Amino acid sequence: MSYVFPPAPITTVPVVGSDNLFPVHRIYCVGRNYAEHAKEMGFTGREAPFFFMKPADAVLVVSDGATGEMPYPTLTQDLHHEIELVVALGKGGKNIKAADAFEHIFGYAVGLDMTRRDLQAEAKKQGRPWEIGKGFDHSAPMTPIVPTAQAGDIHNAAIWLNVNGAKRQSSEVTKLIWSVAETIEVLSQAWELQAGDLIFSGTPEGVAAVLKGDLLEGGVQGLPALKVKLV
């Protein structure tokens, strides 16, 4: 037996400090996970965490020091940036307890959950799925992955995004409503997590539109900066 056509390549992300590649399984994303961002989206209070996914091949790897080129997507007039801490799992499992969650983390990266906000808003209004707003091609630019041992104190790190040199988003990972460990606990009740899963942990306040030609520069203290130009 053979494939009827060649299978798509496995999406991979380089690992900082080695020649190894991290093979991506799924991309889970957490919605409204910083209080001030929840407010700017019209919500308040600590909701139960909720999730959506992007396809693994939405990843656009940008190596450290390089400027990635993201094509401005079709069908939108309102493309938004969402800078996020990305958690890369090296070990899967079901019903993982928050206290054990860190054993499952391989490393961390910086990512952008790029969002066609107008299409997402229309989907919300109509009670439709979010995929067209969130899961489009190249919608997940990200840096290489830093293994946990080299990543420093990520959970208290600053997180920020500038557009064309002007500050747009600035917060701290410690302000996550649902911490990384709690997120893994709840996610692993809904899905069996696997090595290779990425978790986009949520964005702080300050999301806004970007245009073709804009340069996005963001980061999480202790990780490589992410530079993306919209083309």
Which residue's Cβ lies closest to Mn ion?
113
Q: Least distance from C-beta 81 to Mn ion, angstroms? A: 10
| 82 near Mn ion, rule: CB under 5 A | yes
Closest CA to 198 of 105, 64, 136: 105
Q: Least distance from C-beta 124 to Mn ion, angstroms? A: 14
Q: Least distance from C-beta 33 to Mn ion, angstroms? A: 8
| 113 near Mn ion, rule: CB under 5 A | yes
Are residues 32 and 43 in contact, defined by beta-carbon separation less than 8 angstroms? Answer: yes
- Kindly tell me which of 147 and 218 has the beta carbon lying closer to Mn ion: 218
Stretch that binds Mn ion, among 45-53, 69-77, 111-119, 223-231 (CB under 5 A): 111-119
| 217 near Mn ion, rule: CB under 5 A | no
- Kindly tell me which of 39 and 91 has the beta carbon lying closer to Mn ion: 39
CA within 13 Å, CB half, 132: 13
CA distances from 7 to 3, 14, 17, 128, 197 (A): 7, 21, 29, 31, 20
Q: Least distance from C-beta 82 to Mn ion, angstroms? A: 4
Question: Using the rule CB under 5 A, which residue among 76, 203, 204, 226 binds Mn ion?
Answer: 203
- Kindly tell me which of 29 and 193 has the beta carbon lying closer to Mn ion: 29
Q: Where are the beta strands (DSSP E) in the chain?
A: 12-14, 21-23, 27-30, 51-54, 59-61, 68-70, 79-80, 83-89, 105-112, 115-116, 140-142, 146-147, 158-163, 166-172, 198-200, 215-220, 226-230
Q: Which residues bind Mn ion (CB under 5 A)?
A: 82, 113, 203
